[in-house]
Chains A and B, each alone.
Chain A
Amino acid sequence: MSSDFVPLKAYDDGLQGWINDARERVLWQESQPRPIYSEPNSVGSGEGKRALLWQYVRKLDPLSFTEVQTESDCVSHGSRNARDCTRAVQVLLENRPESFVRRGATEPTYGARGHGGGGMIPARASTFERDVGFCIRQKYDPVDLSKYNGSIGANWGSSGVPKDVADICRQHKVGIIRQINNVRDAMDALANGYGIHSGQYAKWDSSPNSQNIHARLPGGWAHDMATVGYDDTKEFWPFTVFFIQNSWGGWNKPVKDWPSSYPEQVPGMIVTKADDWAVCVTDGDAWGYGNVDGFPPQKLPDYGAIGLLQT
Chain B
Amino acid sequence: MKNIPIIVACIVAALTFIPIPKKPEGPVASALIASSRSDRAHLKGVYLSLADVTEKDNGKLITTVGMWRQLHSNALKLAASDLKGKYPGLDVAVEKVMADAFPLDDVAMSPAMVVKVTAACREVAKQSE
Contact = CB atoms under 8 A, between A and B. Distances in A.
B80 A308 contact: yes
Interface in B65-85: 65-66, 68-73, 76-77, 80, 83-85
Given A60-B63, A309-B76, A309-B91, A298 B106 contact: yes
Interface in A44-88: 59-60
A92 B91 CA distance: 29
Contact of B105 (A299, A302, A307, A311): A299
Contacts, number: 90
Mostly, the A contact residues are loop
A308 B71 CA distance: 13
Interface string B89-102: 11110110011000
B49 interface: no
B84 A309 contact: yes
Contacts of A99: 64, 66, 105-107
The interface residues of chain B, by DSSP majority, are classed as helix
Interface residues of B, number: 34
Nearest to B109: A92
Contacts of A91: 64, 107-108
Given A97-B105, A99-B107, A303-B69, 19 more contacts: A91-B108, A92-B59, A95-B107, A95-B112, A97-B107, A299-B104, A299-B105, A300-B105, A302-B95, A304-B72, A305-B91, A305-B95, A306-B95, A307-B91, A308-B91, A309-B76, A309-B83, A309-B91, A311-B84
